[in-house]
Copies of this chain bind each other. A is one copy, B any other.
Amino acid sequence: MATPLKKSACVPTPPLDETPDLRPIEGPEADEELAALAKAVGHPARVQILRLLVRRESCICGDIVDELPLAQSTVSQHLKVLKEAGLIRGEIDGPRVCYCIEPRTLRRLKALIGSL
């Protein structure tokens, strides 16, 4: 069940990309959703991580640790928060893990913010 890919680019960005979101842009559930996403973005380190991942459209891994002035465990926690919010995705690439933006969720966040 191994990925037959070279370890160079580690899965740039997943298949689905343009399917529209069917969920409502407002209402109680949308409020909860927006709050959860905003909370995940509500820390400078996580904003930096998101920026890093957006900039390099392909994904990186523990280079994030080198870019941030934080301990490895702390960065890992921030990554977990972002992953649980659905804003990023982590894929195992051999010994390391590569993270990339989940464009669908990011678009969702923009739509929700835009509805304000």
Contacts and interface: CB of A to CB of B under 8 A. Distances in A.
Interface string A24-39: 0010000110111011
Interface of A: 26, 31-32, 34-36, 38-44, 46-48, 50-51, 54, 106, 109-110, 113-114, 116
A115 to B, nearest CB: 8
Given A26-B51, A39-B43, 19 more contacts: A31-B47, A32-B44, A34-B41, A35-B41, A35-B43, A35-B44, A35-B46, A35-B47, A36-B42, A38-B41, A39-B39, A39-B42, A40-B42, A42-B42, A50-B116, A109-B113, A110-B113, A110-B114, A113-B113
Contacts of A51: 26, 31, 116
Nearest to A54: B116
A21 B70 CA distance: 32
Contacts of A42: 35-36, 38-42
Nearest to A46: B35
A113 B106 CA distance: 9
Query: 6 closest A-B pairs (Cβ-Cβ)?
Result: A39-B42, A38-B41, A38-B42, A35-B44, A31-B47, A38-B38
